[in-house]
Structure 1
Amino acid sequence: MLSPLIALQATTVEALPEEAATTVEQLAVAAATSPAAESSLNLIDLVSKASWPVQAIMALLVIASLLSWVIIFRKFMVMRRAKREADQFEERFWSGAELTKLFAGSTERNRAVGGIEAIFESGFREFNRIRQRKGVDSRSQLEGAQRAMRATTSREIDGLEHNLEMLANIGSTSPYIGLVGTVFGIMVTMHTLHAASHQIGIKDVAPGISEALLATAMGLFVAIPAVWAYNRYATAVERMAVRYDAFAEEFSSILQRQSHLDET
């Protein structure tokens, strides 16, 4: 029983031959540098190696994205300022201040008015102008003030809606522009593979398909923020339009009472 154990202890472990060790190291390096190990996607390299039609479409999508974001931030500032000015003027208007003092504050030099204050200024100006005429009844005074307020309301709403159509166009056309890039990428890939003389594998098809799909993804990334911003700001403009119309109706009632007092 002891003799086999003694024999095993006496046996020495020989090292691997030098050629076998070199082969193991080469296999480890090959596994580390294999395509499976390099699984990260380099978008910059993918764009730089894309065909020129796909690159042109990608550049167009980048320009559209920058333009849409500029409009989004500017429209955010415009809508926030319009809401803030409306809140401030309505607070002064319903606090019981005299209409003449409010009108004098709205017509100060070097002061641009907008929104509800501009509607008030135009309506009260026209009301005073018609009231100074002789023989004009209260109904004509009120109708003139209402026409002026409607015209000012239309101008204010048009200013709030400025560039919203550009957001709508970018949001609706960007996916189709991306699809055009996809079509060009696949066409160029198929043409290149058709002209190849060697056996075609997945590594030959992957770059072209990747650049084609990247164009589609870019189109969606451009369209989604533009569509979201358009829906948000279009709703905000509608709410401001309702607010402007409500103020014009309430101010018309005040002017109607004022005109009746002038007749008595």
Structure 2
Amino acid sequence: MDSGLNFIDLILKASFLVQLVMLTLVALSVLSWAIIIQRRKILSNALANAKKFESRFWSGVDLSKLYNEISARGTQSEGIEAIFTSGFKEFARAKRNNLSAAGLGIDGPHRAMRVALSREVEKLENSLSFLATIGSISPYIGLFGTVWGIMNAFIALGEVKQATLQMVAPGIAEALIATAMGLFAAIPAVIAYNRFATKMEKIESYYGNFMEEFANILHRQALTQEVKSHVPA
């Protein structure tokens, strides 16, 4: 027995504008899933690498040795390593220039690490705003297709003398598919964005705490160095 309505047929028989809306929503859905998969991997790796580096950092390794190990890789450091290298590099530069403890221990390295922190967070947040946009606009795009499809269905209904539900049902059904596709594209994007935003806050807090702790270590080293420099031989 023929049910009378087929999902594929409804899409193929829809008006050009409704088909264009559906195609747009499919493209947005595919793009959002690509972003979700990419960001999930990047954020998970960032947090795992941060924990791995911090474990190495607090193991008692010499900071100069750790800095040289990172620099010797020949690749640009990322994440928490970038914060460490920017701070230590500025500390070493200030040390060579014999700056005071105030400039040497906290101000210069702290500013350098804050800039590095901002850059790393910006990298991790890349594409998240677009994911939020997809979650926001997809239902409205689908709703537009629905309104247009229903409007066409009722216009066609007004052109016949005797209207039946069988005549208007396909037009309304194809219009409602656009709304369903809009929700299909929006819901995963919204859920993923909220989860990624929470993880981003955790990572940023992790980076920020390390930056402050490392700044305190550099400050103590600078004070120790200044005291030694004032001690008579």
Q: 1:109, CA displacement in angstroms?
A: 4.1
Question: Which residue of structure 1 aligns with residue 127 of structure 2?
Answer: 163
> Which structure is higher in RCO with an 8 Å CA cutoff and minimum separation 6?
2
Letter in 1 for 2:80: I
**Structure number, greater radius of gyration:** 1
**TM-score, normalised by the number of residues in structure 2:** 0.94
Is the aligned partner of 1:172 residue 2:102? Answer: no
Letter in 1 for 2:198: T
**Matching residue within 182, 198, 201 for 1:235:** 198
Query: In 1, Cα distance between the equivalents of 2:207 and 2:151?
Result: 54
Q: 1:40, CA displacement in angstroms?
A: 8.1
**Matching residue within 108, 117, 120 for 2:84:** 120
Cα 1:82–1:147 change in 2 (3 A) is same
Aligned residue pairs total 226
Question: Which residue of structure 1 aligns with residue 67 of structure 2?
Answer: 103
Asked if the contact 2:5/2:170 (under 8 Å) is kept, the reply is no
RMSD: 1.2
Cα 1:115–1:40 change in 2 (3 A) is farther
Is the aligned partner of 1:189 residue 2:176? Answer: no
Q: 1:168, CA displacement in angstroms?
A: 0.6
Question: Which residue of structure 2 aligns with residue 48 of structure 1?
Answer: 12
Give CA deviations for 1:17-76 in whole Å, capped at 9, x if unaligned: xxxxxxxxxxxxxxxx3xxxx348521111001111110100010011011001000001
Letter in 1 for 2:94: I
Alignment gaps of 5+ in structure 2: 229-233
Query: In 2, Cα distance between the equivalents of 1:107 and 1:178?
Result: 51
Letter in 2 for 1:71: I
Question: Which residue of structure 1 aligns with residue 54 of structure 2?
Answer: 90
Is the aligned partner of 1:261 residue 2:224? Answer: yes
Query: In 2, Cα distance between the equivalents of 1:84 and 1:96?
Result: 20
Letter in 2 for 1:43: F
Query: In 2, Cα distance between the equivalents of 1:260 and 1:188?
Result: 78
Q: 1:182, CA displacement in angstroms?
A: 0.6
Letter in 2 for 1:257: R
Query: In 2, Cα distance between the equivalents of 1:121 and 1:150?
Result: 12
| Secondary structure of 2:120 counterpart | helix
Query: In 2, Cα distance between the equivalents of 1:240 and 1:41?
Result: 50
Question: Which residue of structure 1 aligns with residue 183 of structure 2?
Answer: 220
**TM-score, normalised by the number of residues in structure 1:** 0.83
